[in-house]
Amino acid sequence: MEAAVDRLILVGRIVGLHGVSGEVKLESFTEPRLQVFRYRPWRLKRPNGGMREVQGVHGRAQGKGLVARIPGIEDRDAAATLVGTEVWIERAQLPQPKPGEYYWSDLEGLEVVTIEGVALGRISHLLATGSNDVMVVKDEVRERLLPFILDDCVRSVDLQAGRVTVDWDPGF
């Protein structure tokens, strides 16, 4: 498993334009949403796969959204080329989670096994629901949705071993 500190983490996406001076609208995946502006540098990944590093991004809340100014982007036409671009940072920039807390990105790709040792697959991604987060666990044949509830369904998380142990019926 790739070391957590060596990975890039998706923290936002440029979703539109703001004004004529090159500012962009930003969707933030951080909590709180303005936290995205505290991480530096950003790595901008364009939809075609090209990636570049930028320093000195500034931003603010604007209504229900966020607006960012990216150095070197001085007009609306230049900003328009960035719509759809993803914002990535190095995983090492994130604070260490508290005991019993996990970043979703650290859980994605982990093997999921039952307390009896039956392999259920790997965590593809997680979903937020109103009551609890849900792990999407996939193997070659099927996809399962398991609640991420520590000490109930999720009995242990071992990031070093790359494994999550769950109390789950493999037939379900």
Model confidence pLDDT, tens digit, residues 126-154: 998 988 999 999 999 999 999 999 999 99
Q: What is the pTM of this model?
A: 0.78
Reported residue count of the chain is: 172
Residues 46-75 have pLDDT tens digits of 998 889 999 999 999 998 899 999 999 999
Reply yes or no on whether the pLDDT at 6 is more than 90: no
Confidence band for 172, pLDDT divided at 50, 70 and 90:
confident
Topology alike, domains 6-93 and 104-166: no
Average pLDDT of the residues of the chain: 93
- The topology under which CATH files domain 104-166 is SH3 type barrels. (2.30.30)
pLDDT: is 3 or 129 the higher one? 129
Task: Give domain limits for the chain.
Answer: 6-93, 104-166
Q: What is the dihedral of CA 98, 104, 110, 111, to 10 degrees?
A: 100
Question: Which CATH superfamily includes the segment(s) 6-93?
Answer: RimM (2.40.30.60)
Reply yes or no on whether the pLDDT at 7 is more than 90: no
**Interacting residues of 16 by C-beta distance below 8 A, sequence separation 6+:** 24, 25, 83
Reply yes or no on whether the pLDDT at 5 is more than 90: no
Closest CA to 89 of 59, 58, 51, 62: 51
- The conformational region for residue 163 under phi > 0 = left, psi -120 to 50 = alpha, else beta, is beta
Q: Which string of DSSP letters, residue by residue, matches 7-69?
A: SEEEEEEEEEEETTTTEEEEEE-SSSGGGGGGS-SEEEE-TTS-EEEE---EEEEETTEEEEE
Closest CA to 102 of 118, 113, 86, 91: 91
Residues 114-129 have pLDDT tens digits of 999 999 999 999 998 9
